Amino acid sequence: MSPRILPFIMVLAAMAMVPLVSTSPFYVNLTSQVAIAAIGALGLNVLVGHAGLNSLGFAVFPGLTAYLVAWLSTVGGFDPVPAALLAIGGTLAASMLFALVALRTTGLGFVMITMALCQIVWGAAYRWTSVTGGDNGLSGVPRPGGAVLPLERPEWFLWLCLCVLALALLQLGRFFDSPLGVALRGTRDQPRRMSAVGYDVWRIRFVAWMLAAGWGAAAGLLYAWYHQFVSPHMMAVTASAEVLLMVVAGGAGTLAGPLIGAALVVLLKNLASIWIDRWMMLLGVTFVVIVLLMPDGIVPGLGRLTAWLRRFRPAPAPALVPRERTDG
Amino acid sequence: MAFWISQSLNALALGGLLFMLASGFSLIFGLMRVANLAHGALFMLGAYLGLAVVKAGFGFWVAAASAAVAVGLFGGVLERTLLRRLAGRTLPQVLLTLGLAFIIADACLMLWGGDPMRLPPPPELSGAVRIGDAVFPRYRLFVIGASAAVALGLWLLVERTRAGAMIRAAVDDVGMARAIGVSASTLFTAVFCLGTALAGLGGVIGGPILSVYPTLDQDMLPLALLVVILGGAGSLIGAFVGAYAIGFIYTFGQVLVPDLAYVILFLPMIAVLSVAPQGLFGRRLG
Amino acid sequence: MAEPALHIAGLSKQFGGLPAVSDVSLAIMPGERHLLLGPNGAGKTTLFNLICGDLAPTLGSIRLFGAELVGLPPRKRTAFGLARTYQILTLFPHETICRNVMLALNGLKAGKWGTWRAFEANRALRAEAMAILDRVRLADLADRPVSQTAYGDRRRLEIAMALALSPRVLLLDEPLAGLSRDERVTVQDLLANLPPDVTVVLIEHDMDVALAFAERITLLHHGRVVATGSRAEIAADPRTREVYLGA
Amino acid sequence: MPRMTTRAAACSWLAATALSALAAWPVAAQQPPIKVGFMTVRSGALAAGGKQMEQGMEYCLAERGGMMGGRKVELITVDTAGQPATTKTRAQELVERERVNAIIGPLAAFEALAIDDYIRQVGVPVISPSAAAEDLTQRKVNPWFVRAVGTSAQANHALGEYAAKDLKLKRVATIGDDFAFGHEATAGFQRAFEDNGGQVVQKLWPPLNVADYGSYISQIRTDVDAVYAAFAGGNGLRFLQQYAEYGAPVKVIAQMTTVDEGILKSMGKEAVGVISSGWYTATQDVPGNKEFAAGIRAKYGADPGYYTAGAYEACAFLDAAVKAIDGKVEDKQALMKALRAVKLEKGPFGEVTLDEYGNPIMTVTIRKTEEKDGRLQNVVIKTYPKVTQFWTYDPKAFLADPVYSRDYPPAKNLGK
């Protein structure tokens, strides 16, 4: 077992064991939320961390999938699984169209155009009341499963989320080290050179966009199944900003960063609010503190901290913590 | 006819307000490459401060001036103490300014409560005037004039003064500006103060139209971003054209095609960005 | 007469009405060492950008061994055997020297679309990269991140990135800029040892190096070709003096 | 780095586990407190309404000495932030972590709909202090849900009839927030108004977060007898203020939250003369309201409005139900049954009973906003007793129709 994936396996295993130690399904459900948010953040990280394309409209991917699966499995009369496949297919098809517009730009233009695309879908969800239910959304989304896989039970649903999360980590972990992953970072740092040595920069970015869309769709599917309802709020600008904050706070371009960032935001939002009234303020202060102490995010920051601490030891200890990628 | 007159005036008033909000954002972005996502929150802070001054018994004009100064100073402090450390690093800046926006918004909610509040226009500007067949609020005419005055003032500042020359030089090339003796540090702080002061002023000027309420920042920030993107980041003329373009598109779009009310602002923006990714007056950024 | 390696005819580029390159025509034969000479702002780098496709010309044609390049994106031109270096270093600072070259090597290979197997695990690619690094004397620094190397090493890496494409026509934009005397000698050797069948077009301000290297010279001024000819012809041409001293 | 999370996660999980185990331990020997979950909003756009709800709740509990049916009440207040997803998580927190006996909340209709399926699954009694979505007590009746306030349209049917019959209005333009609450309220008004001979000739729907109403106000036709306004939250304030700036060409009749006491205190002269309808106003003369309104005014320095009274009433519902089952709230079936059978003799809404769908039958008043005692007040000018969510229509036929929406019932007189 490679030492690099060991910590991830440990974290996933610890998350999977929450149902065994927790007396209340609340913590199980909270862990599911962390997992779902982490899948989305991992998807966005492909764009933000590796392609250098900062999106303020990521929520469009989970949003589209969630609405599609909700509509197909309630009004449309499909079973949950075929509905899910159609929803993901539909999201990917729509994402291809979005790419034609969004990938014409980079930098701030990309930030805005992704926000605009998301706002348009949000507007459609909000305005097209007869299909989407308007601001009331669609409720009664059924979860799949049955006697073998009782996904209506929190622990089983958590395990499903963790399986998807593990898949995302594995696929993206491999991708980031693959020739295309290296090339993607090349297009981020020197698009001109990449083009001059024979790479099709647009197509590489397109692959990144579709990867982000795919994992976003997976997160959206789980979101719809988890909450069993969808509403336009999940595509508001603040929802997209929240995912971006997860990625940046955890450490853009790292594999563990989005996971840490997702856990931080979800737990702050939902656990801290139990004890603190002004949790929005707490969230804001947390971001400011992170940025001042660790401008590149938590994972690179802690990587640097451990490297710094290690200098004070006479002999290097066996590497329990592998060096994190800090190429974000 | 009355319809076109009054809707055009509405568009001009909204465009003027947006210009006050977006010009500061654009100046800051052009000079420092900082997308200040706390700009909407500073606009709201200005509105709340202005309201507090009015409630303390001072007039509207004192409120406008003091809110502009206070928010400007606050912006300067933020730049000196926090933003300065993150020069040139986009993602940390996003995290920081969004975090600040959260803090400011929640602090306003704590201090002033969630009740929406009215910021009355000064008595000499309340009431409506008749223009042809159309009836139009006097205060909105003032907003149209005031924003035009601010635009003119900014233009004179940037194009006709020594400070403006420095700003222009630094926008083109910070290194070069330093070489010819511009103190970039002072200039950055000054421009950040100016930009945030404009946001604070805009908050008070906009108060009588928009009223003052907790999510004012979230409602205004996307509009400011749209203006800047449409017009081109870092360009004063771009912010000017963009603000009035958005004012007209928003006003007439909602009236003429109500079914597209939610997307009316984004469709033209996508069209513009597809053709000119830097916006109408933007320069290509590194 | 054989077909030119690079044939430029009537090439013009205007930036918002201002001409940067005007009606430039050049024929560079296979294996030729050709120097572009001219003061700053003469349009030399713009000409490179036009040839490589970073800029689209307003008018004119560019042929590489008879194939028209105008209208093709840069990556397709690369596939025809064109490579260049940049005056401003254009490297991947977070990667090692070796991975920089591997990345360049991979650009024309189908394996660049791989998403599962690790890039690092491609031993054949690494061996190829090491061979190129050997040519530019960077093999011993292969695993050092670019951000931790000296400027002179980066200049050589810049050339290695172009060599990785096994070009038939190589455009070098000031390959000696900013180098120390010793480093210059290394790069000079490197240039001298380029395969004779590779056509090289050079922009260089160091006259000693440039004149020693180039067989034919084109003098550019204000975006126009002032003169083209052999070393001796250009040196003897009174317009050369005029451009450099009179203007 | 990931090692850290594992440890941190394990710590917080263990701590939380231990805490919830402790919390579940019976503190008092026989009678542990009744745990009531209270979902309010403390951040975002709806925070003002949330604060008023908290005051109503606090006042109700204080009035009862913190006891219901002889047992102490432990109130667990959570902030939903006005976000459906957060609301769901907070509901899970209340049910799964705190194991509450009943929930009062949430504030907004979309929040209530977000937890609708969840409360069916877990079966916990929920009393809505504010969310007015029609279908919650109509086509999608939830056995675990009762409402302490009316439906969106409940009071607007009355206003429709009053506008046509008493005010003798013939032609009305409507303008309302473009979301379900605005749609449903307007639809109810339109239906009753047109059934009584009136005509709705124009319908405008400004988006909820519209920056400026100017362009909408300029569109309002001047050849109508009145404009009907249906706004929630702070939008009523913004609309009326801007409307006044344009010279207020035609008079305004309004749905109740447009001139609710919660924002009336921030308004100026522009609100004077607005005629509205609702099941609550601080001045209404029903048994029990005088004491309530005076008490709230004394304690919080402001007249109670929609949210304050709604939360109080929801709390009073729970109190009545708990009393009816002698405090045995652990039997949630019994508690739910008692809730559905609640009858209040007095309170802010006066005499209230529930229909078979869990929605109140109560007094609806027509009132006019006037300046009195140095502040703006809604003065009652007509009273409609025992108004149901179905108005005078047959419930069966009513429920067979589609739910009220932007386009239903269709407006046949637009543009006339």
B and D adjacent (3 or more CB pairs under 8 angstroms) = yes
In a domain, C57, yes or no: no
Task: Identify all chain D residues contacting B225, using CB atoms and an 8 Å cutoff.
Answer: none
CA distance D241 to chain B (A): 8
pLDDT in tens, D258-275: 999 999 999 989 999 999
Task: Say if residue D227 is in the same domain as residue D319.
Answer: no
Task: Say if residue D339 is in the same domain as residue D211.
Answer: no
D319 and D69 Cβ atoms separated by less than 8 Å: yes
Q: CA C26, CA D349: separation in Å to the nearest integer? A: 93
- Choose among B95, B102, B277: nearest Cβ to A105: B277
Nearest chain B alpha carbon to D242: B209
Q: Which of D177, D202, D246 to mutate to test the interface with B (most CBs of B within 10 A)?
A: D246
A281 and B107 Cβ atoms separated by less than 8 Å: yes
pLDDT value of position D399 = 96
The tally of domains found in chain C comes to 1
The tally of domains found in chain D comes to 2
D380 and D366 Cβ atoms separated by less than 8 Å: yes
pLDDT value of position B234 = 76
pLDDT in tens, D208-248: 888 789 889 989 998 999 999 999 988 999 999 999 988 88
Nearest chain B alpha carbon to D41: B114
- Which D residues in the span 190-219 are in contact with A, Cβ-Cβ below 8 Å? 208
Nearest chain A alpha carbon to B107: A281
Sign for the CA dihedral angle at D359, D364, D370, D373 comes to negative
Task: Identify all chain B residues contacting A108, using CB atoms and an 8 Å cutoff.
Answer: 29, 35, 229, 233, 285
CA distance C5 to chain A (A): 19
Task: Say if residue D235 is in the same domain as residue D323.
Answer: no
Q: Which of B78, B95, B259 to mutate to test the interface with A (most CBs of A within 10 A)?
A: B95
Sequence-separated (6 or more) residues with CB below 8 Å from residue D22: none
Q: CA D269, CA B119: separation in Å to the nearest integer? A: 13
Residues B81-99 have a mean pLDDT of 88
If DSSP codes are grouped into helix, strand and coil, which group holds residue D129?
Answer: coil
- Choose among C74, C95, C122: nearest Cβ to A196: C74
Q: CA A175, CA A40: separation in Å to the nearest integer? A: 16
If DSSP codes are grouped into helix, strand and coil, which group holds residue D207?
Answer: coil
In a domain, C113, yes or no: yes
pLDDT in tens, C73-86: 999 999 999 999 99
Task: Identify all chain D residues contacting A298, using CB atoms and an 8 Å cutoff.
Answer: 1
Task: Say if residue D224 is in the same domain as residue D257.
Answer: yes
In a domain, C124, yes or no: yes
Task: Say if residue D95 is in the same domain as residue D169.
Answer: no
Task: Say if residue D296 is in the same domain as residue D278.
Answer: no
Quick check: A178 and C91 CB within 8 A? no
Block residue for tokens 């305005």? A127
Position C164: which residue type?
A: A
pLDDT value of position A2 = 61
Quick check: C115 and A194 CB within 8 A? no
- The answer to whether residue D346 neighbours chain B at the CB level (below 8 Å) is no
How many CB atoms are located within 10 Å of the residue B181 CB? 8
The whole domain housing D383 covers 154-286+362-400
If DSSP codes are grouped into helix, strand and coil, which group holds residue C231?
Answer: helix
pTM value is 0.89
pLDDT in tens, B215-246: 899 888 888 888 888 888 778 888 999 999 99
In a domain, C200, yes or no: no
Position B74: which residue type?
A: F
Q: For chain A, give every domain's residue range.
A: 6-265
In a domain, D407, yes or no: no
pLDDT value of position C212 = 84
Task: Identify all chain B residues contacting A280, using CB atoms and an 8 Å cutoff.
Answer: 102, 105-106
Quick check: A116 and B278 CB within 8 A? no
pLDDT in tens, A105-125: 888 778 888 988 998 899 899
In a domain, D328, yes or no: yes
ipTM exceeding 0.85? yes
Q: Which residues in chain C land under pLDDT 70? A: 1, 245-247
Quick check: A283 and B99 CB within 8 A? yes
Q: Which of B4, B140, B215, B226 to mutate to test the interface with D (most CBs of D within 10 A)?
A: B215
The whole domain housing C117 covers 94-166
Quick check: A260 and D93 CB within 8 A? no
In a domain, C125, yes or no: yes
How many CB atoms are located within 10 Å of the residue C27 CB? 17
CATH at residue D392: 3.40.50.2300
Quick check: B116 and D233 CB within 8 A? yes
Q: Residues A135-154, buried b or exposed e (16+ Cβ, 10 A)?
A: bbbbbebbbbbeeeeebeeb
Quick check: B262 and A124 CB within 8 A? yes
Task: Identify all chain B residues contacting A285, using CB atoms and an 8 Å cutoff.
Answer: 99, 103
Task: Identify all chain A residues contacting B277, using CB atoms and an 8 Å cutoff.
Answer: 104-106, 109
* pLDDT surpasses 90 at A70: yes
pLDDT value of position A74 = 93
Task: Say if residue D242 is in the same domain as residue D391.
Answer: yes
CA distance A193 to chain D (A): 34
Which chains sit next to D, with 3 or more Cβ pairs under 8 A? A, B
- Choose among A104, A237, A244: nearest Cβ to B277: A104
- Which B residues in the span 189-248 are in contact with A, Cβ-Cβ below 8 Å? 218, 222, 225-226, 229, 233
Task: Say if residue D281 is in the same domain as residue D325.
Answer: no
Residues A202-224 have a mean pLDDT of 97
Q: Which of 3.30.2010, 3.30.60, 3.30.300, 1.10.3470 would CATH assign to domain A6-265? A: 1.10.3470
Q: Which residues in chain D land under pLDDT 50? A: 1-10, 14, 17, 21-22, 24-29
Nearest chain B alpha carbon to A253: B91
Quick check: B128 and D247 CB within 8 A? yes
Task: Say if residue D98 is in the same domain as residue D134.
Answer: yes
Task: Identify all chain A residues contacting C80, using CB atoms and an 8 Å cutoff.
Answer: none
pLDDT value of position A1 = 43
Helices (H) and strands (E) in chain D, counts: 14, 15
Q: Of A273-282, B275-284, D179-188, where does the model show the most confidence?
A: D179-188
